[in-house]
Amino acid sequence: MDDFQPPADPDSHPPVGPRVDATPRPIPARIPHRGRAVDLEPLHPRHAAELWQAAQADRDGAGWAYLGYGPFDGAAAMRAHVAAFAARHDPMAWAVRPHATGTADGWLTLMEIHPADAHIELGHIWFSPRLQRTRAATEAMFLLMRHAMDELGYRRLTWKCNALNAPSRRAAARLGFTYEGTLRNVAVVKGRRRDTAWYSILDEEWPARRDAIAAWLDDANWDTAGRPRASLRRTVTGGTGA
C-alpha cells in the first residue's frame, strides 16, 4: 500500500469520494494567449518555416528523443507534420513566439481533454534550443496552465513524460506538479520501451502554484541582465526546493 489516503465522504458507507461539481468543463478554444515575454498562437502551417529554422540549432536531435515524432529530414517533412498537428483538436497545439526573437521557436499543447471529468494535460512540448530554459518558455507553459485551471475550470492538470527524460521531470517539479508514480513498460515509442512518469496539480493546489509562478515571472524578479533573482522551484515550494 502507498501512503496516499484518498478523501472520502464521511457520511458514506462503504466509503466513496466526496461530491464535486460534475458540470462538464469547456473544451479549450483555438485562441491566442499573450504574455510579458511570449505569445502563443494557434498552430498553423504558416508557422512551419520558422519552426524548421528554429530546429536547426538542435544539431544532434536531442530535443526529439522523447517525442513520438522528429527529427524531420527537411522543411517539407516539418511542414507536413505541422499541418497535420494543427488540424487536431486533441492534442490542441499552439506555436510559441518569444518577444526576444519574434519567431515561432516551439510548440506545446493541451491534450487528453476530458471535459466530463474536468481533467486535462499539458504536453507535446517541443522547445527549440534557443527557447529552452528561458523566461519565455516558462511563461508559455504557465499561460496554458492558467487557461486550463482558471479560465476553463478544470480540477486536474496532468504532466507525463518518459521516465528517463530528466529535463522534463525537473520541469514538472519546478512548476509545482506532484509526482504520482511511474507506469512501467506502458508504451512503445520509436521502437523502444517507454516507462511513463505521471505528475499532477489539483484545483485545491493550483492557487498557490499559480501565485508562485506569477511572482517568479513578474518583472520585479528579473535583474537588468535578464536573470531571475529567485529560483522558480524555491518560489513554488516556499523555499524548500533545490
Give alpha helix (H) positions in 110-218: 135-146, 166-174, 206-217
User: Domain for residue 59, yes or no?
Assistant: yes
| Confidence at residue 35, expressed as pLDDT on a 0 to 100 scale | 98
Q: DSSP 3-state assignment of 181?
A: strand
**Total domain count for the chain?**
1
Residue 62 within any structural domain of the chain: yes
In a domain, 5, yes or no: no
Q: Where residue 235 falls among pLDDT bands split at 50, 70, 90?
A: confident
**How open is the CA angle 141-214-172, to the nearest 5 degrees?**
40
**195-215: per-residue pLDDT in tens?**
999 999 999 999 999 999 999
Give the pTM.
0.95
Residue 25 lies in a domain: no
With contact defined as beta carbons under 8 Å apart, do 176 and 160 qualify?
A: no
Question: Is it the case that residue 242 has pLDDT exceeding 80?
Answer: no
Q: What range does the domain containing 184 cover?
A: 33-237
Output the domain CATH number for residue 114: 3.40.630.30
Task: Answer whether residue 232 is part of any domain.
Answer: yes
Is 2 domain-assigned?
A: no
Is residue 15 one of the residues assigned to a domain? Answer: no
* 143-176: pLDDT as tens digits: 999 999 999 999 999 999 999 999 999 999 999 9
